[in-house]
Every structure is written in structure tokens, then in C-alpha cells.
Chains A and B, each alone.
Chain A
Amino acid sequence: MAHIFILFKREFAGYFASPVAYVFIGIFLVLSSVFAFFIGGFYERGQADLLAFFNFHPWLYLFLVPAIAMRSWAEERKSGSIELLMTLPVSTWQAMLGKFFAAWSVLGLALMLTFPLWLTVNYLGQPDNGIIVAAYLGSWLMAGAFLAIGMCMSALSKNQIIAFILAIVVCFVFVVSGSSIVLDAFKGWAPTLLLDTVASFSFLTHFEAMAKGVIALNDVGYFLIVTAAWLYAGLLIIEQKKAD
């Protein structure tokens, strides 16, 4: 535990030592507001909730989270510092978790800084704040799943750009697998079971309920399992490729 915390501190400080975290948080705040107000019709809807804000999170994360995740392992391998890290008395899974929690905290911080929106909606009406808190938690949980995919892709390549693009592609598959783009391709010939399975992999479907404040065990479980699975895959890849 102590090791994870030490690595977490280093990584977290690393995001703020370079402009990465500031740029990320800035862009996240601007884009999430733009989406909520102009595309989501925050005012026009005339409802005291943040659905217009949360609905766009999967699409925001699709591009922004891979940008945060891409350097996590690729940078270590490129600079050779992975050799230092792996010969310290720290195990690979501790390093993986330290890195994951650091980046996840940056994402959490970005989410927290959207609080003016929450204040606004409270000023304008009487929203159900329980729903909003639940939606925030759901969004953060989903961000963790995106992050785990991004870190796994970062473990795969020394090149950050390749890691970034791979992460977007894989995340995109997970986001859209429940939408009509994918499902229409299966409709008509595939058995319903397959259709349902594909749909059940979708981040969108699982997030939809959470954005409305419904924290169901299967949605939470889904994101936790996806996160754990991709982190584990990343762990195996790093063990294999650390010396390349």
C-alpha cells in the first residue's frame, strides 16, 4: 500500500509539473460547458438537472482520457526509466495502480471543477442533488474504464501518438457498441443473444442510467470489471514488453 501511495504521489505531481494536467482540465471544462449549453440545450430544456451536461461525457472522454493515459507507460519505456522503476523494490502491479490512481485523480479533479454548473442549476431551480452526485460518481467510474483502456494501449507502444490513437479506437468500439451504428449491422441476421451481448458492452448503455442518477449494481460492476480487466491486460503487456 505504501508503495502504491509513493508512486501515486510521484505520478500525480508529474501531471502538474508539466502543463499536461492544466491543459487537460482547461479543455475539459471548456468543452463540457460548450456541449452542455450549446448542443445539450441546458437552458432551453427548462429542467433543473444536469443531464445535458452528463450526456456528452462519453464523447468527451473518448478523446481526452487517451490523451492523459498515453504517456503513462510509453514515456517510461521511451526514456528507459522503466528499468529504474522495475529494479526498485516495487512490483509491476503496484506501479500500475499508482499510475492509474494518479491519472484517475486528475480526472476526478477535472470533474469536481465543473461545480459552477451544479451551483447554477441550484440557483435556477430545485434539482435533485442526490441524482447529480450519483451522476458525477457514474461519470468518474466511466472515466476510470476509459483510463484503463488508455493505459493498456500505452503499455503496448513506446510511441505516445500510437498509444493515443489505439486508445481512441478501442474506446470508440466500447462507446458505440450499443448504438445503432453497430447494432444495425448485426440486426436481421445475428441471434438476439449476440445482439444483447454486443449491446451490453456499451459504455453508453451503462452510463445512460447512471447519468439519470440510477446507480445499479450491474452498471457499477460493469465499469469496475472493465477497468480491472484492462489494467490486468496492461500489466501482462508491460511484463512482456518492458525490455523491448
Chain B
Amino acid sequence: MISVKNLSKTFGDFSAVEDLNFDVKPGDIVGFLGPNGAGKSTTMKMLTGFLQPSQGDITVFDMPISQHAKSIQERIGYLPEGAPAYGDMTTYQFLKFIAEVRGFRGNEKEQRIRDVIQKIELQEVVNRPIENLSKGFKRRVGLAQALIHDPDILILDEPTDGLDPNQKHQVRELITQLAKDKIVIISTHILEEVTAVCNRVMIIAKGKLLFDDTPLSLQQRSRYYQAVTIHLSYLADISGLAELDGVAEMEVEQKTGHVTLFPEPGQHILHEITAHVQRAKLPVDTLFIEQGRLDQVFRDLTTEVA
């Protein structure tokens, strides 16, 4: 359990984080969203005890981090931004170093290293110096380092940055697998990642917490949530669509010819539309329900404070 109260951090005149309040419980997979410079990394640095807050308190498992930083850090796995590591060490040497610092000795140490190498699929780079690895492998070594002690809290700053789509998928799978009964906090720019992995979203911008709820309710904020988009093979009279029960508005996108029908709040309009399409024999070749356009919501939320 992490509890953050009135957390603020200033660097000189610049206020990086302003008055954050939130609690995170085991089982939560929190997606930390925000534009660059929003204060995501600064918040994570304070949660891991790297930075001291200018104001406010952080309590982890009922211990204030200001007094128990080291015992809390034993239970945290942290991937810092950019996945820094010691470039002159090989992957194995680096993981061994981390395992030793984490207090593992002998067989258990070797077992943990083997397990994590297998889990993150690092076999082919085990004996290569980290500085010679590709960006994706560096990130994975950073991830391995954060997981080696099976921590109760996992804090990952942009874990999928620089990975290819396959690796991204793999990391997301891994996080979902690991997350049972743990606290996971990941920061990302990638909005789809949040719906794919997280069960809770926090959006911060300019150091302020703007949104804290489930990914679903973030989607529901979108005008496009549960809207229906269709495309016609050739021109036909679509004026009837706008008149249907529950349809609040119709929009036609000139470039692509997609027609989007927005429902009135809480209404499901799919069956009305399909019925009308049947009746009017409209030449529909595409029809889908919108899930909510997160980028739009994100822009709306984060530009309000700008």
C-alpha cells in the first residue's frame, strides 16, 4: 500500500509536482500518463526514495519513506527512465551485482539470475557488455534488474520505450502476469498501453493530478465512446440516420467518407442503426463501434491546464 499526501516538489522556482494525493493498493496496475515534463518521472523518483519531496508525505506499507527508505527500497523494483545500467558489465555480471546487493547468495542467487534471464528472454546477450546492446535489450536488462528480487512494488518508468511491437506485447504480458497482489506503477506516453495493461489511470500535467479512475471511465469521457462509425460503398441518402432514436449527432468526415453517429449519453444505438441500414438498404461496407478516442481525451485534459 502506497499512500501519497500533499506531495510537492520544486526545483528552484520551477514546480515539478504540485500537491498530489493518491493511494495505491495491492492489485492496482496504475498507468501514469502525462505530457513530457508533466512530473511523472519526478513523482516516481520520490516514490522510490531517490528524491526527497519538498513537501508532503509518502508512506509505503505504513512506513514513512523519509525514515525507512532502505527497507522500503528492498521491496521495490525500479526501472529508472532510460534504463540506466553499468555499460562496462555484461548482462550476467550486472544481474549478479544486483542480486548480490539485493542480498542473494550462492544457489539462490544463481537460480534467481537464471529465472529472470529466462523470463525476459535475455539468453542471447548474457555474456555481452551492456553498452553494446540494442536499445530494446538494454530496456529488458533494466526490467530484469527490477524483477530479480520479486518485489512487492514495481515502478517502471517507460518500460516499453524503444521496444518493437513484439517486445512491447511481451513486456505487457509479463506485467499482467506479475501484477497479481502487487502494486505496479508504469509511466508511458502510449495511450493504448494503459487500456491493455492497467486497471487504473492517473493523468498528470504541470505537476497536477487531473484524472484518477479506470481506463474504461477515461474512454467514457470521449465523445466517441460507444459511437458508431459506418462507411458506404457508394453515395446514398443517409439523412435518416441522424433522426434515429438515441442518436444525438452525426458527423461526416470529408476525406475518408466515414460517417460517425454519436449516441445520447447512456444510449446504445447499434441496433437502431443496423435496423435502419436494413430498411433503407444502405450500401454499408464498414461498421464498427468506437471505443473512445483516448488521444482526444488526453489532449482535452492536458491542454486545459496549459
Residues of A within 8 A of B (CB): 3, 6-7, 9-10, 13-14, 17-18, 79-81, 83-84, 86-91, 242-243
Q: Which residues of A contact B76 (CB under 8 A)?
A: 87
In the complex, the chain A residue whose C-beta lies closest to that of B72 is A89
Q: Whole-angstrom distance from the CB of A186 to the nearest CB of chain B? A: 40
Q: Which residues of B contact A91 (CB under 8 A)?
A: 70
Q: Are B70 and A81 in contact (CB under 8 A)?
A: no
Q: Bits for B81-103, please: 1 = Cβ < 8 Å to A, else 0.
A: 11011111100010001101111
- Residue of A13, A18, A90 near B101 (CB, 8 A) is A90
Residues of B within 8 A of A (CB): 45, 48-51, 70-71, 73-74, 76, 78, 80-82, 84-89, 93, 97-98, 100-103, 129, 145
- Residue of B45, B70, B85, B102 near A243 (CB, 8 A) is B45
CA distance A90 to B102 in the complex (A): 9
Q: Which residues of A contact B74 (CB under 8 A)?
A: 89
Q: Are B101 and A6 in contact (CB under 8 A)?
A: yes
Please classify the interface of chain A as helix (H, G, I), strand (E, B), loop, or mixed, using the class held by over half of its residues. helix
Q: With A18-B88, A88-B73 in contact, is A243–B51 under 8 Å at CB?
A: yes
Q: Which residues of B contact A81 (CB under 8 A)?
A: 84-86
Q: Name which of A10, A14, A84 has the most chain B CB atoms within 10 A of its CB.
A: A84
CA distance A83 to B44 in the complex (A): 11
Please classify the interface of chain B as helix (H, G, I), strand (E, B), loop, or mixed, using the class held by over half of its residues. loop
Q: Are A88 and B102 in contact (CB under 8 A)?
A: yes
- Residue of B71, B87, B102, B145 near A84 (CB, 8 A) is B145
Q: With A80-B80, A86-B50 in contact, is A14–B101 under 8 Å at CB?
A: no
12 chain-A/chain-B pairs, Cβ below 8 angstroms? A3-B101, A6-B97, A6-B100, A9-B97, A14-B86, A14-B88, A83-B45, A83-B81, A84-B78, A89-B71, A89-B74, A242-B50
Q: Name which of A17, A86, A87 has the most chain B CB atoms within 10 A of its CB.
A: A87
Q: Are B73 and A243 in contact (CB under 8 A)?
A: no
Q: Which residues of B contact A80 (CB under 8 A)?
A: 80-82, 84
In the complex, the chain A residue whose C-beta lies closest to that of B155 is A87
Q: Are A79 and B73 in contact (CB under 8 A)?
A: no
Q: Are A89 and B88 in contact (CB under 8 A)?
A: no
CA distance A243 to B102 in the complex (A): 23
CA distance A84 to B98 in the complex (A): 10
Q: With A6-B97, A80-B81, A243-B50 in contact, is A87–B89 under 8 Å at CB?
A: no
Q: Name which of A3, A17, A88 has the most chain B CB atoms within 10 A of its CB.
A: A88
CA distance A18 to B129 in the complex (A): 11
Q: Name which of B48, B50, B81, B82 has the most chain A CB atoms within 10 A of its CB.
A: B50
Top 9 closest pairs, chain A to chain B, by CB: A80-B84, A17-B88, A83-B80, A81-B84, A87-B48, A89-B74, A6-B100, A89-B73, A87-B78
Q: Whole-angstrom distance from the CB of B158 to the nearest CB of chain A? A: 13
Q: Are B97 and A87 in contact (CB under 8 A)?
A: no
Q: Name which of B48, B86, B87, B97 has the most chain A CB atoms within 10 A of its CB.
A: B86
CA distance A10 to B96 in the complex (A): 10
Q: Whole-angstrom distance from the CB of B104 to the nearest CB of chain A? A: 11
Q: Are B87 and A88 in contact (CB under 8 A)?
A: no
Q: Are A10 and B49 in contact (CB under 8 A)?
A: no
CA distance A221 to B74 in the complex (A): 38
CA distance A90 to B100 in the complex (A): 11
- Residue of A7, A17, A89 near B70 (CB, 8 A) is A89
Q: Which residues of A contact B82 (CB under 8 A)?
A: 80
Q: Which residues of B contact A10 (CB under 8 A)?
A: 86, 89, 97
Q: Which residues of B contact A88 (CB under 8 A)?
A: 73, 98, 101-102
Q: Which residues of A contact B50 (CB under 8 A)?
A: 83, 86-87, 242-243
Q: Which residues of B contact A9 (CB under 8 A)?
A: 97
- Residue of B85, B93, B101 near A89 (CB, 8 A) is B101
- Residue of B84, B89, B102, B103 near A83 (CB, 8 A) is B84
Q: Which residues of A contact B48 (CB under 8 A)?
A: 87
Q: Which residues of A contact B80 (CB under 8 A)?
A: 80, 83-84, 87
Q: Whole-angstrom distance from the CB of B257 to the nearest CB of chain A? A: 49
